Amino acid sequence: MSYLDTLNERQRQAVEQIEGPVLIMAGAGSGKTKALTCRIAYMLEQGIRLQNILAITFTNKAAQEMRERVHHLVGAEADKLWMYTFHSFGARFLRREINNHPPFTDKFTIYDSDDSKQMIKNILKELNLDDKQYPPRNIQARISAAKNALQGPESFRAEASGNFYNEKIADVYDLYDKYMKQNNALDFDDLLFATTKLLADETIRRRWQDHFHYILIDEYQDTNHAQYLMAKYIAGKSQNICAVGDADQSIYSWRGADLRNIMDFREDYPSAQIIKLEQNYRSTQTILNAANAVIKNNVERLEKRLWTENNPGVHLQKYAASDEHNEADFIVESMMKEHGENHVPYGKMSVLYRMNAQSRVIEESMVKRGIAYTMVGGTRFYDRAEIRDMLAYLKLVANFRDDISLMRIINVPRRGIGQTTIQKLSEFSKQGNMSMFEGIMSLEESDIPVLARTKLQKFSALIFSFLNASTEGDVFTLIQKIMTDTEYLSVLQQSSDPQAQSREENLGELLNVAKDFIQEQPEGGLPEFLEKVALVNDVDSFEEQDDKVTLMTIHSAKGLEFPIVYMAGMDEGIFPGVRSLMDETALEEERRLCYVAITRAKEKLYLTTSAVRTMYGQVKPYVESRFLKEIPVDLLDEIRGNSSEAKRRTLIRSNNEQKSKWALSSAGIENKPVAKKSVKARFDWQVGDKVSHRMWGKGQVAEVTGSGKHMMLKLIFPNDQIRQVMVAFAPIEKEE
């Protein structure tokens, strides 16, 4: 049987339509990976050369899965396929082209988030800016957003003009850019920013257009402006671009993803073929009906409806808890029941929540009952101190201009180089417009005391010995040498710290990583190894474990699936989050997030709410999430607790409903966000008035309640869509 015979009609269409622009609207669980891999195999069968195909995914895990599937279809030839994430493609592109972008060279270091934040901290000190008034993480996010929008320091400053706070951030951005160039370092955003800037050059762009005649992009709805332009530049000549995505799963606007990229695909490529993959192979029809019912309430979407040939399945299970502790106990007891009575391994279950803070009480309940769990989004392996230390040594060996890495390990393990010496070295290096390592090479011209100079020169000799080792052997041998010659390992072995053994074991695991790398890339050297570890994320390393429940945020769960899923915190102000309640655009993204969560479940879905929760040290009442109310009641079974608990929940919930008629949690009322509106609110509305809304269009007022700033309207729009809004915050205008 040919692989084509295993495809449904729409999948086969997606595979065989290889010329011209194509948008594959792939619903959750619709077999898009299968369609993509078969498409690549089919292209090769049609005589298209492997090196002329570029395939882009968003995670290394997805890229590896696709590569393995293509390998299964076409053999070892698949190993030569250009299959990368956007960031890893950018890194490979820049190794070849960045010498055209001085002062950077192809020996650049990739700074991770912590490296970047450390540089910002150093700059804040240099500028005498209070890190409480200017939190490094916030500034990092602002710079990241600017780069994703292809905004350099100069244009950022121009936009910041007249705003004191933003002008200070512009000062930080200026120095950040300056020091990144001095250090020959790129952050994650630079891998996209610099790539896009270089592709804007016609000579470079044509070179890569001549290389890639076909481009495939997965998760197109998650692309930001830089990624969008990268794809457009490369596809510009042939127009053979295949974008795969689902507008209903666009959930990353907070990191720059632009829904318009997929919504306007046909505007960018007028001849585009649109193919919908709506048959789901993952979930029961009941679960899909719930997902369809929720997402249809969004206005900004491309219409599709998931269906399946799977069994209808059981109803969704709803539990209304009295508080978050009762909610957690129910979840854990339900898991124990599924495990004991239905013999479901704990590894087939997952708890999803909107905010990380929700996990604490669930963890406590699981520990109390002896249920093992794993968390996605905890401390990453590569974020552990001992691993970061080893990687800092490796980064400095690869790039002597890397001051951030040097400052991390210049006195680790302790070698008598104190902060005073480091500060003097830093000042001396800046005066001479040198990196700190170059400064060590020129100490004769400094006022650093002789004893300190000797220690610094001994350190530089150590680094040079590692450089020699890197040219003579592999990464595994180099790491071993660093661990031994720095005495890092022996210090741990002699330590009485109870964590020392664990840290030693982690270093052993780093050696395993190096060994695996050598097997995967026999020709790969230190730059390639550093590139590989820099671009790993949590989801890449996620492995389902039979004996452990998985706890994670909904954002982390994207792309995963579990037979049994628990969605905790289905309360207004929790999910949707309080900041989205008065912003239609944000609310629609929250609903898409709910859609993603529901479609992670294969067989059973539990939804839990809580009448009260302790948030920020205060007990606050909550009402059911509007998303829960959007699920038809005939798809839900409500689970009852004991009678006294049930009465308590009913009383609390009844009081909450009185306090929040319009389904706003008390948290939402107490912390009203500033609405994004372009018109001044007016309070003279009457039944029958014509209304215009920027997203919903033209409608009519059906009901008016309250007055002044408490005025609420029920609005009817075309297709009998009913919306309820608070006038003070809604972006509505009266049609005269």
User: Which residues are catalytically annotated?
Assistant: 32-33, 218-219, 249, 600
Helix (H, G, I), strand (E, B) or coil at 594: helix
Helix then strand then coil, % of the chain, to nearest 5? 50, 15, 30
Residue ranges in 569-690 assigned as alpha helix (H)? 584-598, 626-629, 643-659, 666-670
User: Under a CB-based contact definition with an 8 Å cutoff, are residues 727 and 713 in contact?
Assistant: yes
The 3 state secondary structure assigned to 249-275 is HCCCHHHCCCCHHHHCHHHHCCCCEEE
Q: Please count the other Cβ atoms lying within 10 Å of the Cβ belonging to residue 265.
A: 22
- Separation CA 450–CA 545 (nearest Å): 56
Q: Which of 8, 3, 9 has its CA nearest to residue 43?
A: 3
* Cα–Cα distance list, 709 to 190, 394, 683, 694, 727 (Å): 46, 60, 8, 21, 7
Classify burial at 426, counting beta carbons within 10 Å of its beta carbon; exposed 0-12, middle 13-18, buried 19 or more: middle
Strand-pair partners of 225: none
| Cis geometry, peptide bond prior to residue 576 (ω within 30 degrees of 0) | yes
User: What are the tokens at 236?
Assistant: 């510009």
**732-735/109-111 β-pairing:** unpaired
Q: Tokens 């390393």 sit at which residue?
A: 541
Whether the Cβ atoms of residue 185 and residue 111 lie closer than 8 Å to each other: yes
Q: Using CA atoms, how far apart are residues 231 and 209, in angstroms rounded to an integer? A: 10
State how far the Cα of 74 lies from the Cα of 42, in Å rounded to an integer.
10
Distance CA 555, CA 553 (A): 5
Q: Is the peptide bond before 498 cis (omega within 30 degrees of 0)?
A: no
**Angle at which helices 164-182 and 153-160 cross, to 10°:** 170
Q: What DSSP state is assigned to residue 699? A: E
Residue by residue, DSSP assigns 287-347 as HHHHHHHHHTT-SSS-----B-SS---PPEEEEEESSHHHHHHHHHHHHHHHHHHS---GG
- CA-wise closest residue to 17 among 2, 39, 46, 50: 39
6's tokens: 């295993």
